[in-house]
Amino acid sequence: MTTRPHSTGWTPTLGELARTSELVEGFLEDQAVIARAQARQAKRLAEARAIAEAQMRRAGIGSEFEHPVRSMAAEFGVAARISDRTIRARMEWSVDLVDGFPATFAVFEEGRISEAHVRAIVDAGSRLEDEDARAEFERIILPRAVKLTAGQLGSVARDEDARAEFERIILPRAVKLTAGQLGSVARKLADDIEPLPLEERHEEAMADRSVSVAPLPDGMGELTYIGPAVTVYAMHDRATQMARTIYRTKGEGDGRTLDQIRADVFAEITLAGLPTADLIDQHGGDALTKIKATVQVTVPWQTLTGIGDESAFLAGYGPIPADAARRLAGEAATWIRLFQDPDTGCLRTVDTYTPTKAQRRFLIARDEHCRFPGCRQPAIRCEDDHTIPYSDGGPTAVGNLANLCRAHHVLKHNSAWDFRHGPGGVIEVISPTGRVVKHKPTPVVRFEASSEIARADFGAGPPPF
């Protein structure tokens, strides 16, 4: 299923298309050069940290002082005109990468994945490191008896390094996904491999919840809240809904952007409990107090009924504990029952009675985000797009519908970008220069990764790169 050419009012010349294609190819080459350079920097920073560690051991300095490490970070920071704290954080990360994820680092050195992709892998996989292995930089040893949970397939015993298996499965996806997509998949994959249950890890992480402030230039400051992911996403969603209500009804003299209004709303809610009259337009007052936060959480039926403890999935974030999901389910005002193909992970249908709402709920569950490559706008804030325009005979069917955020919806209908629907919700996105990107629904990508864990032979050799 494909779209028809759009009448955009502007048509690139053949010369412009050819030059654009050359520029894109050159940009990709530059990106690979940058990645290789960043990999070399990481290797140098890791070696510098190792030198500082050796100096500490020779001097008998305890880790609580770490003067050689601080001095080394300052050495790099002064030379590069970068904060020594920033350099020190990069040193720590570089050590984790070079020593803890050798296969990932090898692909990084080749320039095949960006630093953003590498960070998504390392951030999600670092928790697989056992406590005794934290101090080892040349070789990190994980428990050999690892219990692996893969989707709905239950727990099976594995006898191999879980981190190596994590890299083996995730790296082929790293070269195909955006960093945002990769982070979501990597968190799910790491959760499947992790031997310690998510509930226990979440309980430990909850001890670190906090609110902190940091100064910024020009009379500004930064407030950081660390808490349960569901709470964080719900807070952002409620502030966003309120901001949109104000934005739609603001007067001519109000030139604030949506982001600025959202920040003002957040501050007012924190300080006053509710948005004040000074903040909102007279048309939006009553509406704001009735707005409730909305988050999309997919809960396996085994978890919901209490016969299993498989983690649920928060759209835009990743796995959340089963207990938290059950509590949310008990308070939910809206329920949608989903049916997933056990062989492909594709969403088959949604159990609901109203056809138009059923299609919308189906698309939200299938897509999770805007389907334009690289966009992470949640589907609940996107628009329904007919791949083949309705005016051209395109049916209002899930095989011809996809979620696009407002910006990408407008772009699609006012440019030469083309979309084609394939089986299982896969969409081919074709750029004006002819570049084709296959975009799979996020739930299917997660399903494929989890299924591969279940089929994996943990006795195999090192990652095949």
Contact of 428 with 437, CB cutoff 8 Å: yes
Distance between CA atoms of 15 and 435, rounded to whole angstroms?
Answer: 16
The encoded tokens of residue 396 equal 């209002």
What is the model's pLDDT at position 51? 92
The encoded tokens of residue 408 equal 């990408």
Reported in sequence order, the residue ranges of 121-242 that DSSP labels E, i.e. its strands, are 146-149, 155-158, 210-216, 220-226
Closest to 244 (Cα-Cα) out of 295, 287, 193, 301 = 287
Local structure of 417: helix, strand or coil: coil
What does each of the 465 residues of the chain score in pLDDT, given as a tens digit? 444 445 556 788 889 989 999 999 999 899 899 999 999 999 999 999 999 889 888 877 666 567 788 888 888 887 888 887 888 999 999 998 998 888 788 888 988 888 887 787 777 667 665 433 322 222 332 222 222 222 222 222 223 345 555 555 555 656 566 656 666 666 665 666 565 666 777 788 888 889 888 877 767 888 899 988 888 888 888 888 888 888 888 878 888 899 999 998 888 888 777 655 454 443 334 445 555 655 667 777 667 666 667 777 676 666 777 777 777 666 665 555 555 555 555 555 444 323 356 678 888 888 888 888 878 788 888 888 888 887 777 777 788 888 898 888 888 887 788 899 888 788 898 888 888 888 887 665 454 444 544 444 434 443 332
Beta-sheet strand order (sheet of 318-320): 297-298, 312-314, 318-320
Q: Which residues contact 215 (CB under 8 A, 6 or more apart)?
A: 221, 222
Q: Domain extents for the chain?
A: 210-289, 297-445
What is the model's pLDDT at position 316? 61
Distance between CA atoms of 20 and 31, rounded to whole angstroms?
Answer: 16
Which element (helix H / strand E) includes 349?
strand 347-351
What is the model's pLDDT at position 3? 44
What is the model's pLDDT at position 324? 74
